[in-house]
Amino acid sequence: MSYLILIRHGQSSWNLENRFTGWVDVDLTENGKLEAEKAGILIKKSNIRIDHYYSSIQLRANNTLKIIQKTLNDKKDFKKAWELNERHYGALTGLNKVEMSKKIGEDKVHKFRRSWDLKPEPLDKKSKFHPLNINVFKNIPHKFIPDTESLKDTYERVIKFFKLEIEVKINKENILISAHGNSIRALCKYLFKLDEIQITKLEIPTGNPLIIEIDKNYKIKNCKYLDKSRAKDLVIF
């Protein structure tokens, strides 16, 4: 039996401000750091030894993972992959979700946030929030840098990477992935075989490790959030 641990980064500064973040490289709040530390403590109590660590290349996911590793006293290198980045919210990037709900309606905002294949208008390439103008993304080939994405777009890049780099290991080694709400939703859709309606209902809490138990035949035997007080409905379990 092996374990796959999925964790959405701790609260970020733009989570706190209720803004569409996407590929903008904001850091954790103090509360987000505490969430990451608590996640590390809960993983430590579970006595699961992590063989491999993965993260997006975004600061909030990287720093969440570093805090977890420090809590575990584990100095292994971790692999960063842009494919695990958050979904790109296009022209919504940087805007306040409440203000946009008032402007275009709650239903429209909800559809942009949770639907499978609806994507916002593209973000202007001249915007300071466009990935082309953010230094951390400078080594990603331009053809892979989006102007906007749907969850379907996010799913395709996340799962392609997962199949190539991680899936072959998950039935025999313990793996932890530090990523984002939508990249983890993409992974859950694939792992739990959720349909396009079920995935719209899935919420991922910040800083709460989701532990998935996998047998040698790649079958999921169990899954649970370690912090039960902040657990979300897993839809399938």
Residues marked active site are found at: 9, 86
Q: Residue 181 and residue 174: Cα distance in Å, rounded?
A: 21
For residue 28, what are its two tokens? 């954790």
Sheet strands side by side (includes 220-225): 79-80, 52-55, 175-179, 2-8, 210-214, 220-225
Integer-rounded Cα Rg, in Å, for the chain is: 17
- Backbone region of residue 6 per phi and psi (left: phi > 0; alpha: psi in -120 to 50; beta: other values): beta
Which alpha helices (DSSP H) does 105-194 contain, by range?
Answer: 106-114, 151-165, 181-191
The packing angle between helices 181-191 and 151-165, to 10°, is 70
Q: What 3-state DSSP class applies to 59? A: helix
Q: Which residues contact 2 (CB under 8 A, 6 or more apart)?
A: 170, 171, 172, 173, 174, 175, 213, 214
Q: Residue 202: which of 190, 212, 215 has the closest Cα?
A: 190
